[in-house]
Structure 1
Amino acid sequence: MATVSLDNVRKVYPNGHVAVAGASFDIADGDLLVLVGPSGCGKTTLLRMIAGLETVSAGTLRIGGRVVNEVAPKDRDIAMVFQNYALYPHMTVAENLGFGLRLRGMPRAEIARRVDDVARLLELGQQLDARPAALSGGQRQRVALGRAMVRQPAVFLLDEPLSNLDARLRLSMRVEIARLHRRFGTTTVYVTHDQIEAMTLGQRIVVFDRGAIQQIDTPMKLYERPANLFVAGFLGSPAMNLLRGILHAGDGLALATAGGTVRLGTSPQVDALADWHEREVILGLRPEDLRPLAADDPSAALEARLEVLEPVGNEVFLNLRHGDSALVARTPPGVACVPGEMVRLGTAVQRLHFFDPRDGTRIG
Structure 2
Amino acid sequence: MAAVRLDQLRKVYPNGNVGVAGASFDIADGELLVLVGPSGCGKTTLLRMIAGLESISSGQLSIDGRVVNEVAPKDRDIAMVFQNYALYPHMTVAENLGFGLKLRGHKQPDIDRRVLAAAKTLELEARLGSRPAGLSGGQRQRVALGRALVRNPRVFLLDEPLSNLDAKLRLSMRVEIARLHRQLKATMIYVTHDQIEAMTLGQRIVVLDGGVIQQIDTPMNLYQRPANLFVAGFVGSPAMNLLRGTLRHRDGWVLDTAQGDVALGASAPAADWSAWCDREVVLGIRPEDLQPLDGGTAAFHAQLEVLEPVGNEIFLNLRFGIQTLVSRVPPQVLPEPGSRVALGLVAARLHLFDPADGARVGA
Question: Is the aligned partner of 1:321 residue 2:280?
Answer: no
More moved, 265-274 vs 51-60:
265-274
Question: Is the aligned partner of 1:30 residue 2:30?
Answer: yes
Contact 2:83–2:160, Cα closer than 8 Å, also in 1: yes
Q: Deviations over 1:26-81 (max 9, x none)?
A: 00000000000001100000000000000000000000100000000000000000
Letter in 2 for 1:156: F
Question: Is the aligned partner of 1:133 residue 2:112?
Answer: no
Show the counterpart of 2:345: 347
* 1:228 Cα offset (Å): 0.3
Letter in 2 for 1:145: L
More moved, 261-270 vs 199-208:
261-270
* 1:270 Cα offset (Å): 6.3
* 1:130 Cα offset (Å): 1.1
| Alpha-carbon distance in 1 for matches of 2:296, 2:104 | 73
Question: Is the aligned partner of 1:304 residue 2:302?
Answer: yes
| Alpha-carbon distance in 1 for matches of 2:267, 2:330 | 25
Q: What SS does the corresponding residue of 1:114 show, helix, strand or coil?
A: helix
| Alpha-carbon distance in 2 for matches of 1:204, 1:7 | 18
Show the counterpart of 1:337: 335
Show the counterpart of 2:228: 228
* 1:268 Cα offset (Å): 4.2
Letter in 2 for 1:361: A
* 1:266 Cα offset (Å): 3.2
Runs (4+) of structure 1 exceeding 2 A deviation are 266-271
Question: Is the aligned partner of 1:169 residue 2:169?
Answer: yes
Instruction: Indicate how the Cα distance of structure 1 residues 244 and 348 shifts in structure 2: closer, same or farther if over 3 A, else same.
Output: same
Show the counterpart of 1:144: 144
| Alpha-carbon distance in 2 for matches of 1:238, 1:192 | 18
Q: What SS does the corresponding residue of 1:359 show, helix, strand or coil?
A: coil
Tell me the matched-pair count.
362
More moved, 71-80 vs 258-267:
258-267
Contact 1:264–1:270, Cα closer than 8 Å, also in 2: no
Instruction: Indicate how the Cα distance of structure 1 residues 270 and 201 shifts in structure 2: closer, same or farther if over 3 A, else same.
Output: closer
Q: What SS does the corresponding residue of 1:26 show, helix, strand or coil?
A: strand
Letter in 1 for 2:157: L
Q: What SS does the corresponding residue of 1:284 show, helix, strand or coil?
A: strand
Q: What SS does the corresponding residue of 1:263 show, helix, strand or coil?
A: strand
TM-score, normalised with respect to structure 1: 0.98
| Alpha-carbon distance in 1 for matches of 2:258, 2:312 | 33
* 1:110 Cα offset (Å): 1.1
Contact 2:252–2:267, Cα closer than 8 Å, also in 1: no
Alignment map for 1:208-227 (pairs within 5 Å): 208-227=208-227
Q: What SS does the corresponding residue of 1:269 show, helix, strand or coil?
A: coil
| Alpha-carbon distance in 2 for matches of 1:302, 1:313 | 27
Contact 2:300–2:343, Cα closer than 8 Å, also in 1: yes
Show the counterpart of 2:57: 57
* 1:226 Cα offset (Å): 0.2
| Alpha-carbon distance in 2 for matches of 1:331, 1:259 | 23
Show the counterpart of 2:88: 88
| Structure 1 gap ranges (5+) | none
TM-score, normalised with respect to structure 2: 0.98
| Alpha-carbon distance in 2 for matches of 1:270, 1:179 | 36
* 1:316 Cα offset (Å): 0.4
* 1:144 Cα offset (Å): 0.2
Letter in 1 for 2:348: Q
Letter in 1 for 2:342: R
* 1:269 Cα offset (Å): 3.1
Q: What SS does the corresponding residue of 1:236 show, helix, strand or coil?
A: coil
Identity of aligned residues (%): 72
More moved, 17-26 vs 268-277:
268-277
| Alpha-carbon distance in 2 for matches of 1:75, 1:271 | 50
Instruction: Indicate how the Cα distance of structure 1 residues 135 and 285 shifts in structure 2: closer, same or farther if over 3 A, else same.
Output: same
Alignment map for 1:249-288 (pairs within 5 Å): 249-269=249-269, 272-288=272-288
| Alpha-carbon distance in 2 for matches of 1:218, 1:267 | 28
Q: Deviations over 1:132-166 (max 9, x none)?
A: 11111111100000000000000000000000000
| Alpha-carbon distance in 1 for matches of 2:326, 2:137 | 35
Alignment map for 1:64-103 (pairs within 5 Å): 64-103=64-103
Show the counterpart of 2:12: 12
Contact 1:156–1:189, Cα closer than 8 Å, also in 2: yes
